[in-house]
Amino acid sequence: MRSSLSRRGLLGGIAATGAWTATGALPGAASAASKGRAGELPSAVDVVVVGAGISGLVAAREVAARGRSVVVLEARDRVGGRVLNHELADGSVIEAGGAFVGPTQDHVLGLCDELGIQTFKEHTAGNSVYFSRGIRQTYQGTVPPDPLVLPDAGRLQLQLDEMSKDVPVDAPWLAAKAAEWDSTSLHDWVAQNTVNPDTAKLLEVYLQPLLGADARDVSLLFMLWYVATAGNEQNPGTFERSSGTENGAQDSRIVGGSQLIPLRMAEQLGDIVALSAPVRRIEQLADRAVVTTDRGQVSATRVIVAAPPPLIAQIDWAPLLPPKRLQLLQRHFMGALMKCDAVYEKPFWREKGLNGFGISDARRCGWPSTTAPPTGAPACCWPSSAAPPGPTGGTGRPRSAGRACWRGSRGCSARRRSTRSTTPSRTGRTNAGPTAARWPIPAWGRRTGSGTRSVGRSAASTGRGPRPRPTGPATWTVRSVRASVPRPR
Amino acid sequence: MRSSLSRRGLLGGIAATGAWTATGALPGAASAASKGRAGELPSAVDVVVVGAGISGLVAAREVAARGRSVVVLEARDRVGGRVLNHELADGSVIEAGGAFVGPTQDHVLGLCDELGIQTFKEHTAGNSVYFSRGIRQTYQGTVPPDPLVLPDAGRLQLQLDEMSKDVPVDAPWLAAKAAEWDSTSLHDWVAQNTVNPDTAKLLEVYLQPLLGADARDVSLLFMLWYVATAGNEQNPGTFERSSGTENGAQDSRIVGGSQLIPLRMAEQLGDIVALSAPVRRIEQLADRAVVTTDRGQVSATRVIVAAPPPLIAQIDWAPLLPPKRLQLLQRHFMGALMKCDAVYEKPFWREKGLNGFGISDARRCGWPSTTAPPTGAPACCWPSSAAPPGPTGGTGRPRSAGRACWRGSRGCSARRRSTRSTTPSRTGRTNAGPTAARWPIPAWGRRTGSGTRSVGRSAASTGRGPRPRPTGPATWTVRSVRASVPRPR
């Protein structure tokens, strides 16, 4: 049952030395990682990791750093999962998936440090734009200055912050009012706690791209937990921190694009990562698990499944996962969200005193957001659009909705180079959906063990360095999935 | 592309003559149906049906009756899906899955007529038992006579009936208030429309075994639609009709057990039904679809998938179903429910003036219900228990909860022959769950086409004779699934 991999010693050595000293661009990283392990898979390792997103790669590094043999089995032909660099015509990159990092996201920031990856501040100088009832206003700060909604919105925000302090990040079901909060949709709670219906409308438009779901799709408990996760040991999570730009979750971006994080890890891991190896079956024998992929079988003493719930449900488990676990997997669904990129030669909106962020109550397009590489050119705007299936929520046509929204903001049709939608927004064979898993109302399966904890954290805050904190999401994934593999009886 | 099956002419002839004249017991039906088609699958047929539940078998009969060749591919080694006869020691049967038929369920009653299957009235003489706050009362009718909840409960019931009239059975999303009703959980609506919190508690206990879900798990629109489906062309659906015994959905049972319906159909279909043939992949080529099973490949010009949404999502579709369709499948989950049988030599409770139905607000066990074959012996009681994953809903231990509940009803421990749980309550590889699919809140994907219509109808009302009505569930399944197979482009 020992490793047939040759590089584990090397990798363990690398990890033990602490910082990985690559800096700046990493030529060839993408192509190396897109090739991955060539030839046959090892027949036996200590640990198989399913999924080469940030969580899976972090798990594999940690296993390797402890001197165990490990192989990462990835269904796609690339690493990164919902983090994907989108290359522009001039070779610079923009993120097609998760993009931002913020000051309390210590795990991913620690991982960046260790990988020699730099961040830069998102451009915030200038005004944001607010469209409501056909009227365009500019503003600064988080909440648009609509005099009709400002008091309501401010009060809601404070309430969310206050209530979220009672929600343990690693066990939200233990909050004193968990059952009550979990029985109420965020939509209903907002409606019951606002005076002006427009406040609810605005908040939902704001939340939709944030959550990848309608406010009626998630429980109040989910939202409070989401806010709570925006903190760290020193700072409580706040709504502002979970959604804001400066000092918030959209504070900074990655030089070289966020996919550089998994690309660097894959580069370090080398042939530990096997691409185009979709896992079809996981069979638990008396002394080991046998993992069947389209590239052959690997046996292991542990299997870590770092994949989204709908894809975990598609694995042919033998013996089956417990019925309650299967039912829990059925109840988890991915968010719905897409970005459209409109690429310009330069961020011309800055000349007009705009920072590039906008919010519209047209509902089909919550956040037209602009962004640019550190050099400022070429610049992109991405009208985001959340489009869950539902009678009032999704449009079913996020791309055209995004375009319409952008057109509505005027003055941007000049100098556009290209418009394209981004891959991670597609739900597909190896991609359960564009954003992390939601759960229906009610959310938490108290008796289903740690598996419930592997969901809901944004990709940007998933990864971390070699010693994850107990509450860290990467730890959750690792733990939860170990628990999901039935032990020999 | 023509049939390689030899029996379609015969079957077409049978169906064309109208009534199938088998009566009484059908010796050997179970064993014949559990064997199914032996040997190789046909290489090509006009239509492949995936799933040998009542819907799939009805679809196959209709296709065959029109002179097209058809094969039914069933993953399990038996027909019937969530309808399963549980054989008692003396050879009589009791239902492990769906059991009841009622006067407006014309489809399944027509199917019974045609198959020569008889029904008998559920025993209702005597009193029901109501346990609340540790106190035992007996009563008659649908709603327990708790003076504190009766006025509230009666009003709620009238409101549901009235509102449900506005919900089109075949397109609930077209109800004028669909969005509003779909945004509110049944739990919240009940809480907002009752004076006494005990009413909400009682109603939820009552609804849990009915829906296989907590009231907070389904939207008000779902409940109104559920009530509406209890009607037919002549009679509007009512809450009483959807849940009551006499003249309601639990009015009658099937002589020989409800699985006799699919068993008879399978007997007629003969080697059209292939068991132990789980469908792994459906590939759409230019002129045909190729269906891959563990028993080989079959090509067809049409594929009808009559399987629950979570299992449809596990099929390897090539090309993929549209992303929105995949997301919709992710959002459908099965109900949670189990029955425990306690078998006695005779229904001794009748001597005590009890009809065998009880309701308890102990929450872990909504409906202890007794039943017996037409001869009255042996008799069973089944404490039903709905146990969805959730912080307040499920116990995670429905079997022990069922036992505890039954013990709580006293006087029944004598003369018990056996206690066993029933198969369809298990979520497993070929069984997505015990009751029909629910959808989270919100429910309806307006733009996702007819696929949304294939869910939510109870198994007992699924099947029907040769000419399904436009709004009939069997028709839905057929239509929806045709639409789900991508057409050649």
A29-80 pLDDT, tens digit each: 444 444 456 778 999 999 999 999 999 999 999 999 999 999 999 999 999 9
| Chain A: closest CA distance from residue B459 (Å) | 19
Compute CA distances A138 → A132, A146, B116, whole Å. Answer: 11, 10, 74
- Nearest by CB to A179, which of B314, B392, B433? B392
Instruction: Say if residue A440 is in the same domain as residue A297.
Output: yes
Instruction: Say if residue A187 is in the same domain as residue A268.
Output: no
Instruction: Say if residue A152 is in the same domain as residue A296.
Output: no
User: Which token pair is A243?
Assistant: 């959604």
Instruction: Say if residue A74 is in the same domain as residue A161.
Output: no
Q: Cα–Cα distance between B391 and A245 in angstroms, integer?
A: 34
Q: Enumerate residues 6+ apart whose C-beta is below 8 A from A39.
A: none
Instruction: Say if residue B30 is in the same domain as residue B151.
Output: no
Instruction: Say if residue B58 is in the same domain as residue B13.
Output: yes
- Nearest by CB to B188, which of A184, A323, A324? A184
For chain B, state the CA radius of gyration: 22
Dihedral over Cα of B167, B168, B169, B173: its sign: negative
B338-344 and B296-305 strand pairing = unpaired
Cβ pair A365, A402 in contact under 8 A: yes
- Nearest by CB to B396, which of A326, A433, A447? A447
Please provide residue B111's backbone torsions phi and psi, each rounded to the nearest 5 degrees: -65, -40
Dihedral over Cα of A233, A238, A242, A245: its sign: negative
CB contact under 8 A, B331 and A394: no
Planar angle of CA A226, A228, A233, nearest 5 degrees: 140
Give the residue from chain B lying closest to A317, CA to CA. B429
For residue B396, the chain A residues in CB contact (below 8 A) are 324, 447-448
For residue A389, the chain B residues in CB contact (below 8 A) are 324, 327-328, 331, 445, 447-448
Instruction: Say if residue A274 is in the same domain as residue A343.
Output: no
Q: 3-state SS of chain A: helix, strand, coil percent to 5?
A: 35, 20, 45
Numbers of helices and strands, H then E, in chain A: 15, 21
Instruction: Say if residue B152 is in the same domain as residue B199.
Output: yes
Instruction: Give which of A162, A129, A141 is closest to A239, Cα–Cα.
Output: A162
Dihedral over Cα of A270, A272, A273, A277: its sign: positive
Q: Enumerate residues 6+ apart whose C-beta is below 8 A from A88.
A: A94, A343, A378, A380
- Nearest by CB to A320, which of B336, B428, B440? B428
Give me the pLDDT at residue A40, please.
Answer: 85
- Nearest by CB to B391, which of A330, A333, A444? A444
B85-87 and B93-95 strand pairing = antiparallel
For residue B391, the chain A residues in CB contact (below 8 A) are 173, 178-179, 182, 442-446
CB contact under 8 A, A440 and B336: no
Instruction: Give which of B445, B434, B413, B167 is closest to B308, Cα–Cα.
Output: B434
**Which of A217, A328, A331 is best to mutate for the B interface (most B CBs within 10 A)?**
A331
Mean pLDDT of A249-277: 94
Give me the pLDDT at residue A442, please.
Answer: 52
Give me the pLDDT at residue B1, please.
Answer: 35
Give me the pLDDT at residue B381, please.
Answer: 60
Mean pLDDT of A192-212: 80
Residue B314 lies in a domain: yes
Instruction: Say if residue A396 is in the same domain as residue A463.
Output: no
Give me the pLDDT at residue A305, please.
Answer: 94
- Nearest by CB to B440, which of A184, A327, A440? A440
CB contact under 8 A, A216 and B445: no
Q: Cα–Cα distance between B316 and A430 in angstroms, integer?
A: 11
Q: Cα–Cα distance between B295 and B293 in angstroms, integer?
A: 5
Tens digit of each residue's pLDDT (9 = 90 or more) over B71-117? 999 999 999 998 888 877 777 788 888 888 999 999 999 999 999 99
Q: Which of A25-34, A387-396, B370-379 has the highest mean pLDDT?
A: B370-379
User: Which token pair is B281?
Assistant: 């992949």
What type of residue is A478? V
Give me the pLDDT at residue B307, please.
Answer: 92
CB contact under 8 A, A441 and B216: yes
Query: How many CA atoms within 13 Å lie on the side-chain side of B480?
Result: 27
For residue B394, the chain A residues in CB contact (below 8 A) are 324, 445, 447
Give the residue from chain B lying closest to A221, CA to CA. B391
Ordered DSSP codes for B194-263: -SSHHHHHHHHHHHHHHHTS-GGGSBHHHHHHHHHTT--SSS---HHHHH-STTSTTSEEETT-TTHHHH
CB contact under 8 A, A442 and B216: yes
Instruction: Say if residue A416 is in the same domain as residue A284.
Output: no
What type of residue is B162? E
Compute CA distances B83 → A70, A303, A478, B96, B481, whole Å. Answer: 45, 36, 39, 7, 21
- Nearest by CB to A336, which of B182, B327, B391? B327
A289-293 and A296-305 strand pairing = antiparallel
Query: How many CA atoms within 13 Å lie on the side-chain side of B391?
Result: 23
Give the residue from chain B lying closest to A333, CA to CA. B330
Give me the pLDDT at residue B479, please.
Answer: 28
CB contact under 8 A, B389 and A185: no
Cβ pair A341, A114 in contact under 8 A: no
- Nearest by CB to B178, which of A184, A391, A441? A391
Residue B2 lies in a domain: no
Whether the bond between A378 and the residue before it is cis, its omega within 30 degrees of 0, is yes
- Nearest by CB to B334, which of A187, A330, A429? A330
- Nearest by CB to A441, which of B323, B441, B448? B441
CB contact under 8 A, B333 and A330: yes
Give the residue from chain B lying closest to A331, CA to CA. B333
| Chain A: closest CA distance from residue B218 (Å) | 9
Quickly count: other Cβ atoms within 10 Å of residue A285's Cβ.
Answer: 10
- Nearest by CB to A173, which of B320, B391, B429? B391
CB contact under 8 A, B327 and A334: yes
Give the residue from chain B lying closest to A441, CA to CA. B217
For residue A214, the chain B residues in CB contact (below 8 A) are 442
Give me the pLDDT at residue B96, please.
Answer: 80
Region of A378 please: left (phi>0), alpha (psi -120 to 50) or beta.
beta
CATH number at residue B457: 3.50.50.60
Residue B410 lies in a domain: no
| Chain B: closest CA distance from residue A167 (Å) | 14
B416-421 and B289-293 strand pairing = unpaired
**Which of B326, B329, B453 is best to mutate for the A interface (most A CBs within 10 A)?**
B326
Distance of CA A222 to the CA centre of its chain: 16
> What is the count of structural domains for chain A?
3
Residue A268 lies in a domain: yes
Residue A112 lies in a domain: no
For chain A, state the CA radius of gyration: 22
CB contact under 8 A, A428 and B326: yes
Tens digit of each residue's pLDDT (9 = 90 or more) over B299-333? 999 999 999 988 998 899 999 888 778 888 888 88
Mean pLDDT of B322-347: 76
Instruction: Say if residue B234 is in the same domain as residue B291.
Output: no
A–B: how many Cβ contacts below 8 A? Answer: 159
A100-101 and A252-254 strand pairing = antiparallel
Give the residue from chain A lying closest to B429, CA to CA. A320
With tokens 């007819």, the residue in question is: B450
> Is residue B421 scored above 90 in pLDDT?
no
Q: Enumerate residues 6+ apart whose C-beta is below 8 A from B357.
A: B128, B129, B245, B367, B368, B369, B370
Q: Cα–Cα distance between A299 and A282 in angstroms, integer?
A: 9
Residue A478 lies in a domain: yes
Cβ pair A101, A109 in contact under 8 A: yes
Q: Which of the four pLDDT bands, split at 50, 70 and 90, describes residue A462?
A: very low
Give me the pLDDT at residue A426, please.
Answer: 61
| Chain B: closest CA distance from residue A438 (Å) | 10
Query: If residue A150 lies in a helix (H) or strand (E), which one and from where to where?
Result: helix A150-164
Pick from B189, B216, B243: which residue ends a domain?
A: B243
- Least confident segment among A166-170, A211-215, A414-418, B321-325: A414-418
User: Which token pair is B74?
Assistant: 């069933």
Cβ pair B168, B174 in contact under 8 A: yes
Strands (E), A67-145: 70-73, 85-87, 93-95, 100-101, 119-121, 127-132, 135-139
CB contact under 8 A, A173 and B446: no
CB contact under 8 A, B446 and A187: no
With tokens 């002394």, the residue in question is: A287
CB contact under 8 A, A393 and B442: yes
**Which of A76, A423, A427 is best to mutate for the B interface (most B CBs within 10 A)?**
A427
Give me the pLDDT at residue B297, please.
Answer: 96
Instruction: Say if residue B280 is in the same domain as residue B226.
Output: no
Pick from A208, A243, A278: which residue ends a domain?
A: A243
Q: Which of the four pLDDT bands, split at 50, 70 and 90, describes residue A282?
A: very high
Give me the pLDDT at residue B371, please.
Answer: 64
Please give the mean pLDDT across all residues of chain B.
72
Residue A459 lies in a domain: yes
What type of residue is A394? G
| Chain B: closest CA distance from residue A391 (Å) | 5
CB contact under 8 A, B216 and A183: yes
Beta-sheet strand order (sheet of B44-50): B273-274, B70-73, B44-50, B296-305, B289-293, B279-284, B316-318
Please provide residue A281's backbone torsions phi and psi, each rounded to the nearest 5 degrees: -150, 140
Residue A90 lies in a domain: no
Give the residue from chain B lying closest to A448, CA to CA. B389
CB contact under 8 A, B330 and A333: yes
Instruction: Give residue A314's domain range.
Output: 8-82+259-333+434-484
